[in-house]
Structure 1
Amino acid sequence: MRITIERSNLLRSLSHVHRVVERRNTIPILSNVLLKTEDGALRLKATDLDIEITERVPASGEQDGATTVPAHLLYDIVRKLSDGSEVELRTNGEGGQMTVTSGRSNFRLQCLPEGDFPDITTGSFTHAFTLKASDLGRLIERTQFAISTEETRYYLNGIFLHTIESGGALRLRAVATDGHRLARAEMDAPVGSEGMPGIIIPRKAVSEIQKLLGEADSTVEVELSDAKIRFTVGEVVMTSKLIDGTFPDYQRVIPTGNDKALRLDRQTFSQAVDRVSTISTERGRAVKLAVADSQLTLTVNSPDSGTATEELAVGYDADEIEIGFNAKYLLDITGQLAGDEAVFMLADPGSPTLIRDGGDEGTLYVLMPMRV
């Protein structure tokens, strides 16, 4: 194998694929990235056995071949090479070592054979559709923060993606919850998603595809089955196993009878919550919301530090109510709202609260109260 490639192209591709490689591996081959030359291009591939990312990048090859080298090591080497330089990758006939040459820099890396590299992409996909990268990115961004990190309830460790009939139209909906809060976002279902199975995309796959979507400005192709999902963003293809579990019936926890509407300025409220929660060093300290006569009073009590209060003018014409929420959860939710106005639909101090986004009708949040 002998190939020459622009350093910037190689670095960009390595930055995509090396992220899925775990720093510590009991299986040596999983620490490596597969490099294969074909049809005037270099194909890179990395996996952790749950996620696989491949990318093709233009290169000028003198001799086709394939090998695997340590992913993070190669990324660090290329990252430190001079801007605008060219990189030559060359293996000997036996493939035991690969030489990386750029200008006066020369590295020799230990290789493992291509035949040992695993392949998780076998199998067919039952559904395929295309949507804007920005639309998929919005679904993920609006819900990702609510993914549970509790490993015992593994079926909550991802985003539940499914289609649903709503108002006579088919909608593509993303839902995430950790039992304390729930985030739901939706959009018009793309052509080809009809009849797709409800799937749970794992947290790590969600994080990786979000990074790829952040660099994309066009469309993303999605293929899925009961067990796997594949995203194609330009020349990057990411395949991931899905969580094998049943997502709970989230509709049951979305309140329908909350009739006390609290309307407030999102940014002003968020800044006020951030200020009063400064008094407490304890993570997850409750902030009390007392609403009466179009005025909201935020209060945080800390046995060690003291008390903080702040008053805000709001829109509210229902009965007085006092309710407590986790300050961090309030900040997480208000940070995702697109509009200037947030609407809190309240019931009583012990019932879940529904939060709507004044700038995005397809998004809603449910937040469980805390005792204060």
Structure 2
Amino acid sequence: MHVICARDQLAEAMGLVSSIVNQRSTNPITQNVLLVADKKGLEIRATDLDLSLKRTLSEVDTKKPGKCLVQASLVGGLLKDIRSDTVEFTADGSTVELKAGRDRFELTSADPEEFPKLPEVDAKTELTIKGQDFVNAIRRVGRSIAQEKGRYALNGVLVEPRKNAVEFCGTDGRRLGYTKLGAKCKELDYQVIVPAKGYNLISKVIGGNEDDVSIRLSENRIVALVDGTEVGTLLVEGQFPDYRAVIPGDLDKQLTVNLEDFRLALNKARHLTSVESQAVRLEISKGELTLRSRSPSQGQAEVKVEIDYNGDDVAIGFDPQYIL
């Protein structure tokens, strides 16, 4: 293999794969990335056997097609210090030569045939959705998923394709986040639960992309296709609870409050909560929200915020960490 590529493109790609490569993996081969050069460009592949990423670089001059393995952390570190506009890889047996300007590095390499084959996805449905909308939706509900290991289905976000829409839900059993977006898709007869590390990587790849992206769903994987990059993850096993059963259907009261004012008020009130009772009481009345908290050893707080509300008076208590 002999290929010349743009350093900045390669450095960006290596930054993405660093999110996957685990230096403490029991499978040393997955500490490497596979470089595959052909007439179409240079393809970079990485996997930890759960997550997978494949990115194609376009600014490439392929002198000789082929493939090689390079250590992800080593090449990533070199690229941070290299200032040449281009880098050149030449692979011959167990050695990969990297040239950049007047610098030359000989890197020990393993057999590329030992690198795990990235899984093919037998997509049961495909979502076409605005990239930034997908990222925002999954991040909103992702805040509510269980952080404790071993909660299985609750350690991920449920993604439910419906006719012309997709619904997202996350819960830890105490709080629940839900949102819905319009999308081109069809319904599935099984659950799609995306693990946190999976949707974090997908979100990182999508970034601030405002264009449509393609999300493919199979029975055990979700794969996103974004601007020459294919990123996927294994789904979480288990049965997500029937969240619709706990969402009240008779919500007849609604208020509007300035987000920053509400956040600051909650933070003020939470300073005077106790370890035994971290609740903040919200008293809602016409035009005003009063937040109260009490700590036996420190005192009590009363914080008021202007709101837009004309309904009956209501009082309810929350642990502020579930709202902030």
Q: 1:37 aligns to what?
A: 37
C-alpha separation in 1, matches of 2:279 and 2:107: 54
Q: Which residue of 2 aligns with 1:363?
A: none
Does residue 186 of structure 1 match 2:180? yes
Correspondence for 2:28? 28
Measure, in 2, the Cα distance between the counterparts of 1:281 and 1:46: 47
Pairwise CA distance, 1:156: 1.1
CA distance in 2, matches of 1:217, 1:261: 31
CA distance in 2, matches of 1:65, 1:55: 16
How far does residue 54 in structure 1 lie from its aligned partner after superposition? Answer: 0.3
Judging changes above 3 Å, is the alpha-carbon distance between structure 1 residues 125 and 108 closer, same or farther for their aligned structure 2 residues? same
1:271 matched to 2:264? The reply is: yes
Corresponding pairs, count: 322
Matched, 1:80 2:71: no
Q: Secondary structure at the match of 2:323?
A: helix
The amino acid that maps onto 1:87 is V
Q: 1:223 to 1:291 in 2, by over 3 A?
A: closer
CA RMSD for the aligned pairs?
A: 2.4
Q: How does 1:109-128 map to 2 (within 5 A)?
A: 109-128=107-126
Matched, 1:220 2:222: no
C-alpha separation between the residues in 2 aligned to 1:317 and 1:244?
43
CA apart distance, 1:29: 0.4
Q: Structure 1 length normalisation: TM-score?
A: 0.79
* Cα distance, 1:179–1:284 mapped onto 2, change above 3 Å: farther
**CA distance in structure 2 between the partners assigned to 1:189 and 1:269 by the alignment:** 32
Name the structure 2 match of 1:131: 129
Alpha carbons of structure 1 residues 243 and 283: separation in structure 2 relative to 1, 3 Å: farther
- Structure 2 spans left out of the alignment, 5+ residues: none
Is 1:290 aligned with 2:308? Answer: no
- Alpha-carbon offset, residue 300 of structure 1: 3.0
The change in CA–CA distance for 1:104 and 1:242 in structure 2 (over 3 A counts) is same
Offset at 1:294?
Answer: 4.1
> Would you say the 8 A contact 1:45–1:55 is kept in 2?
yes
Aligned to 1:348: none
Deviation at 1:304, TM superposition (A): 5.0
Aligned residue in 1 for 2:300: 307
Q: For the Cα contact (< 8 Å) 1:81–1:102, is it kept in 2?
A: yes
Distance 2:6 2:23 in 1: 26
- Describe the shift of the 1:330–1:316 C-alpha distance in structure 2 as closer, same or farther (beyond 3 A): farther
Residues 236/304 of structure 1: CA separation in 2 closer, same or farther (3 Å cut): farther
Match of residue 100 from structure 1: 98
The 5-angstrom pairing of residues 307-346 of structure 1 reads 307-314=300-307, 315-321=309-315, 323-331=316-324
Residue of structure 1 in register with 2:70 after alignment: 69
**Could you list the per-position Cα deviations for residues 204-263 of structure 1 after superposition, in whole angstroms to 9, with x for gaps in the alignment?**
111011111214232211222111221100100012211122111000111224445444
The residue number in structure 2 matching 1:154 is: 152
Q: Secondary structure at the match of 1:23?
A: coil
Instruction: Letter of the 2:259 partner, please give it.
Output: R
What residue in structure 2 maps to residue 362 of structure 1? none
Which residue identity is paired with 1:2?
H
SS at match of 2:239: coil
Query: Can you list the C-alpha shifts for 1:116-166, whole angstroms capped at 9, x where unaligned?
Result: 11124135222223222123223213212112122222111111111346x
- SS of the aligned residue for 1:193 comes to coil
The answer for the alignment partner of 2:169 in structure 1 is 175
**Structure-2-length-normalised TM-score:** 0.90
Q: Is the 8 A contact 2:123 2:217 kept in 1?
A: yes
Q: Matches of 2:253 and 2:207 in 1, distance apart? A: 38
Query: 5+ residue gaps in structure 1?
Result: 332-372
